[in-house]
Amino acid sequence: MYVPISKQTEALKNYGSRHRAALGLSEKTDALLIVVSEEKGTVSLARVGELTLIQDSAELIVRLEEFFAENAKRTKQKRTMRSFLPSRQHMILAAGSLTCALIAWFLFSFPQSGMIQRTLNAPIEFANVSGSAVVENIRPQIISITLSGKAKDFEVFDPRALKVSIDAKDIKTLGPYRIKIVEQFVDYPNGLSLEAISPQYVRFSLSKKIAVPQEQNSH
């Protein structure tokens, strides 16, 4: 069976063949595709050429309910009264799909090894900024970091210590910048693994620091 593979190389840089296939199918059809990472156990949704990482089962349910509601409305407008699917039957199909999705989520995202995932917010910090410059207009100022590991490792980890640190020692030219957040920018403890960064890019401007004149004491 031929499956169209998406050509969005930048968006799929950190994903495997199943994510490429799912995104490719979403580009060719109006289907909603659920993708479970074999290595990481994370769950993503592919639709209309976009891949979204799902944080937990609650978000998965909301996304599926939104899709079913939208699809039912669109289908109802196209169907004739003769071919109209009874609402009860539609609800049974929707409930079955939700059940299958949740089973897949728990089987793949929460393996018996005791590994868990948590998504935490981390502030962005800049280090080694030139003394004559200042970093402004940082967007976003908070990055969502998804970590995985054993429950005991999370218990001794203070989420407030999580941060994204960008070394600005090589940024000399004034002006706007767009930098991709990579793993070495994220300060997280040993024993945990970095699974996802969202969003992956940060924008900011490097401006000249304006010296504030000091008031002179009058005698």
Structural domain includes residue 48: yes
Question: Of 75, 109, 143, which residue is a domain's last?
Answer: 109
Whether residue 62 sits in one domain with residue 82: yes
Q: Is the pLDDT of residue 81 over 50?
A: no
Structural domain includes residue 30: yes
Question: Could you list the residue range(s) of the whole structural domain that residue 179 is in?
Answer: 115-208
- In the prediction, which pLDDT does 104 show? 57
Q: For the chain, how many residues are written?
A: 219
Whether residue 73 sits in one domain with residue 93: yes
Summarize pLDDT for 100-112 with one digit per residue, the tens.
666 555 555 544 4
H or E, element range at 36: strand 33-36
- In the prediction, which pLDDT does 111 show? 47
DSSP, residue by residue, 126-162: EES--TTEEEEEEE-SEEEEEEEEEHHHHHT--GGG-
Please name the residues in contact with 213: beta carbons below 8 A apart, sequence gap of 6 or more. Answer: none
Q: Is the pLDDT of residue 11 over 90?
A: no
109 close to 41: Cβ distance less than 8 angstroms: yes
Whether residue 126 sits in one domain with residue 74: no
Mean pLDDT (whole number) for 20-29 = 87
Summarize pLDDT for 152-173 with one digit per residue, the tens.
888 888 888 899 999 999 888 9
Structural domain includes residue 148: yes
Whether residue 72 sits in one domain with residue 37: yes
Whether residue 129 sits in one domain with residue 183: yes
